[in-house]
Structure 1
């Protein structure tokens, strides 16, 4: 009886050990599965409501489809609060690298500082995050060069003197808007000073027309008057207000510095309906499909093509080097108000009706079938 009891006890203990071991193995498998669900690179883009960022999303997906590293792309939908939630969500998934385009360069500080506390490498993508030391790298197009290219195009296409010049800018919350405008002003200012252009819609710019190098405060005052907030509707309303207030000598053949393609189309639509405006040259940037059609149709003069494929490749290149334990190569730096952020810059290309096919179709950025009237 005792012998049988000992045998039964041994069997029960053995069964208990087997159950515990099975449970441990099961938990181990669960952890392994959980690890598989972890994300290496988190990507946060500002909004799905602008074609530019939807375009970037697709380029990221194209670039990442064969990557050994896992990624997730989230959108902040114009909200810095949502942006912070997105970063926190990605941190909970164990990201090692954060690629982020801030909705507001200053407001994004709290989100990236939370990432840095977790040991995450932060890459600012296309927009600089300001007033924080929690940014490791900045992957960008040369924003000063974008503004300079827009300005030079207006100069190259100006006829005579006292050409009315209408200035517009991006959002004051976006450091890039300052860089774009600064780059444009440096090129335009000598031609404003010598009478080639006559400022039409900014009293602050008029006060500073003899000043070649503008301070941040001076730029802020002008941008405060002519900001579009990157919003086509706001750009449309401002253009309507400016044309309504403009005297006859500020119409005729005019030049328009529009900050990007979305605002350029809205502004162009307004100027094209004013009978006192005989012709206009209007700038843009981003090579959005709708604006490429406008350029083909003669409704928009040019766009600054920033090949997002290259920017995405550069951003992912930096991320992969970090994940592989290497130090990424950089080509410069930007002062974000707190530190000098190491930067990798990508070149830009001016596109108009003459070279649109070569730059955008022949390079396979877009398909010819996506447009009408392409020669």
Structure 2
């Protein structure tokens, strides 16, 4: 789909029709059809609520959204909630009170912001759910994300490719197994975790059914595999427990389905502490997501097998474009109006494509596109 650039939507100095913030005589609510007010972009503040600064991915998202909005002439009220739900709720309450005109929210817990969204609706403020779908509310206006089920398919496929059960072109590989594989999932309060899991398990299930993949721990349900808040240390502890309980007979782990690079690094630490990666104890095939720079170095070094690259620059652009449409009194362009049911409504969405990255294409996918420099990849640290 051909997309307008964010600058074409905005254009500094052009007056937009704005949904006025209710209360205190701030104006009428355009969304209700009662009227409108107009202002230059420089008179408008957009609230940006990000979940944490403990992940480089969310720092990059917040910075990219902020930069796009500022380039378009808007003021930006950006907040990080440090993975604390009450903090995020309070920050969003303050954005509403201050009169931010649109809220771009990446929720910590997709079910915990109903009252804030109700207040935003009453004030005529539109809400864009960013990457993580906000659930249980009719007051989510738009969703920008990646095709999260496909991300899971890509993770499952890359695991199969790494094990040799599939070739890169999707044809059957020369390996037959059986391979011992352990499964990890994301945080259950993040709607995306289920999509990632479903895509991966749907991809792996035929190989499990044929006995080519064996989940030796027998922990094959998402609630058994879930890692709260996607935390690295929690993943490390779970992997340590699996090694102690299911691999104390001398057998080895051949592969690990991991939905996120931070979780992958926790898994890798547990495996290295158990002697994997040295001698005849080869490191298992380990997947990931988000192309975090520390994990990209591990991939380049042959420690982690793959990650899923989701170009957050493009995601930020879509959020900025959607905000511009809303502030201009237009409906944002959606390419999916069926998939993302938040329990109350199907939220119109714009979904972006993701890419599998292995050692073979780190340079073309990440360096040549200027997402990272070669020096950053070599160092495993962003400059």
Residue 145 of structure 2, aligned match among 135, 140, 143? 140
CA distance in 1, matches of 2:121, 2:326: 14
Change (3 A) 1:248 1:161: farther
Q: How does 1:143-182 map to 2 (within 5 A)?
A: 143-158=148-163, 159-182=175-198
CA distance in 1, matches of 2:271, 2:178: 18
Q: Could you tell which deviates more after superposition, 106-115 or 347-356?
A: 106-115
The size of the alignment, in residue pairs, is 323
State the Cα distance separating 1:39 from its structure 2 match. Answer: 4.5
What residue number does 1:367 align with? Answer: 373
CA distance in 1, matches of 2:56, 2:218: 29
State the Cα distance separating 1:38 from its structure 2 match. Answer: 6.2
Q: After TM superposition, where is structure 1 displaced by more than 6 Å over at least 4 residues in a row?
A: 35-38
1:95-145 CA deviation, whole Å, 9 max, x = no partner? 121100111011122222221111111110000011111101110111101
CA distance in 2, matches of 1:201, 1:124: 36
**Secondary structure of the residue that 2:48 maps to in structure 1?**
strand
What residue number does 2:314 align with? Answer: 310
Residue 61 of structure 1, aligned match among 58, 66, 71? 66
Structure number having the greater helix percentage? 1
Residue 92 of structure 1, aligned match among 93, 97, 103? 97
State the Cα distance separating 1:369 from its structure 2 match. Answer: 1.8
Q: Specify every segment of 5 or more residues in structure 2 that has no aligned partner in the other structure, as ranges.
A: 1-39, 164-174
1:210-248 CA deviation, whole Å, 9 max, x = no partner? xxxxxxxxxxxx222111220000000000000011236
**Secondary structure of the residue that 2:192 maps to in structure 1?**
helix
Q: Could you tell which deviates more after superposition, 142-151 or 85-94?
A: 85-94
Q: Specify every segment of 5 or more residues in structure 1 that has no aligned partner in the other structure, as ranges.
A: 1-34, 206-221
Q: Is 1:137–1:341's contact at 8 Å kept on the other side of the alignment?
A: yes
CA distance in 1, matches of 2:272, 2:241: 14
CA distance in 2, matches of 1:36, 1:66: 10
Residue 284 of structure 1, aligned match among 271, 282, 288? 288
Bigger radius of gyration: 1
State the Cα distance separating 1:37 from its structure 2 match. Answer: 8.9
What residue number does 1:192 align with? Answer: 208
What residue number does 1:252 align with? Answer: 252
Change (3 A) 1:317 1:371: same
